[in-house]
Amino acid sequence: MRLALKDVSIQFGGLKVIEKMNMNIGDGELVGLIGPNGAGKTTAFNLITGIYRPTAGEISFEGQSVATLKAFEISRLGVIRTFQNIRLFQTLSVLENILVSMHPRCAYGLTAVFSQGAKFKVVEDEFRADALKLLKIFKLDHLAAHEAGSLPYGVQRKIEIVRALAGQPKLLLLDEPAAGMNHSETAELMSLIQKIRQDFKLSVLLIEHDMKLVMGICERIVVLDHGMVIAEGGPKEIQNNPRVVEAYLGVEDAT
C-alpha cells in the first residue's frame, strides 16, 4: 500500500474542509480524484504533501506515518506533485527547473563545489543528461534553455510534470494536468501519463475535471463532495452512481 488516508479531517476555524476521508492507493495504481469545485480535492493534495496538517486522522506513505514530517521530507520519501495554478520557477530556464528537483539526490557537497572537483563535474553531467532524457519523453528537450515563465500555459503544465518526475517519485500527484488543453493535447497527455506510470513504476493520483481523461485512464475513481468521499469505484460504477450525478448536477425538482 503506497498511500493510506485514515479518517483524515481538516478544519480551518469553523469551516470543515475535509471530513473523515479514507483513501488507499496501491503500487502502480492510477487513481482519479474528482468532485465539484470546492469539494476539497486540492486540499487533499496539500494534506498528503504536508503543506497542511490534518486536524484529525492519519496519513501514511509506504507504512510510515507522515504526521510529523515536513513537506520536503515527504517529497523526498517519494510523494511529488504538480500544482493547480502553475508554480514553475519562472525566471529559471526549463532545464534549471528540472535540475532543482534533482538537488535532494546531489552527491557532492560544498567542498566539491568550491574546488570544482571531479565529482562535481560527473554529477552535474549526469543530472543534465537525465533531465534532457526526461524532457525528451515529453518532446520538450528543444526548450531546455528557454525561460520557463515565457512559455505557453500548456507547455508549462507539462514542464511541471517533468519537474515532478525528476524527483524520482513513487507516488505522483497531478493537479488538473489537462487544464486548458484541447482534445488532441488531452489525448496525448493521457497516453503520456500511462506511459510514465508504466516506465517509472509509479502510482498516480490525479485531480481532473476533464471526464474523458478521467474515465479514459483511471482504474479507480474517488469522488469528493463538500469534503467527504461520496463514492469510490471504477469508471462505469461512478458514471452511474446517482449520488455522483447529484453532486455535479444537482437534484431534479419534485415538480
One character per residue 10-39, x = contact with other proteins (rule: CB under 8 A): --x---------------------------
Strands (E), the chain: 3-12, 15-25, 30-34, 56-61, 64-65, 79-81, 171-175, 203-207, 220-225, 228-233
Nearer to other proteins, 72 or 246 (CB): 72
| Identity of the amino acid at 158 | K
Q: Say whether residue 200 binds other proteins (CB under 8 A).
A: no
Q: Give residue for cell 502553475.
A: 86
Sites for other proteins among residues 156-185 (CB under 8 A):
163-164, 167
Sites for other proteins among residues 129-148 (CB under 8 A):
145, 147
The three-state secondary structure class of 147 is strand
Q: Give residue for cell 517533468.
A: 162
Sorted by sequence, the CB contacts under 8 Å of residue 158 that are 6+ apart come out as 138, 140, 189
Q: Which stretch binds other proteins (CB under 8 A): 21-29, 54-62, 118-126, 235-243?
A: 118-126
Nearer to other proteins, 49 or 203 (CB): 49
Q: Say whether residue 83 binds other proteins (CB under 8 A).
A: yes
One character per residue 56-75, x = contact with other proteins (rule: CB under 8 A): --------------xxx--x
Sorted by sequence, the CB contacts under 8 Å of residue 137 that are 6+ apart come out as 162, 192, 195, 196
Q: Say whether residue 152 binds other proteins (CB under 8 A).
A: no
Read off the DSSP letter of residue 38: T
Q: Say whether residue 115 binds other proteins (CB under 8 A).
A: yes
Nearer to other proteins, 93 or 239 (CB): 93
Three cell numbers at 73?
A: 521530507
Q: Say whether residue 243 binds other proteins (CB under 8 A).
A: no
- Burial class of 116 by CB neighbour count within 10 A (0 to 12, 13 to 18, 19+): exposed
Q: Footprint of other proteins on this chain (CB under 8 A)? A: 12, 42, 46, 49, 51, 70-72, 75-76, 80-81, 83, 87-93, 95-96, 99-104, 106, 108, 110, 113-117, 120, 123-124, 127-128, 145, 147, 163-164, 167
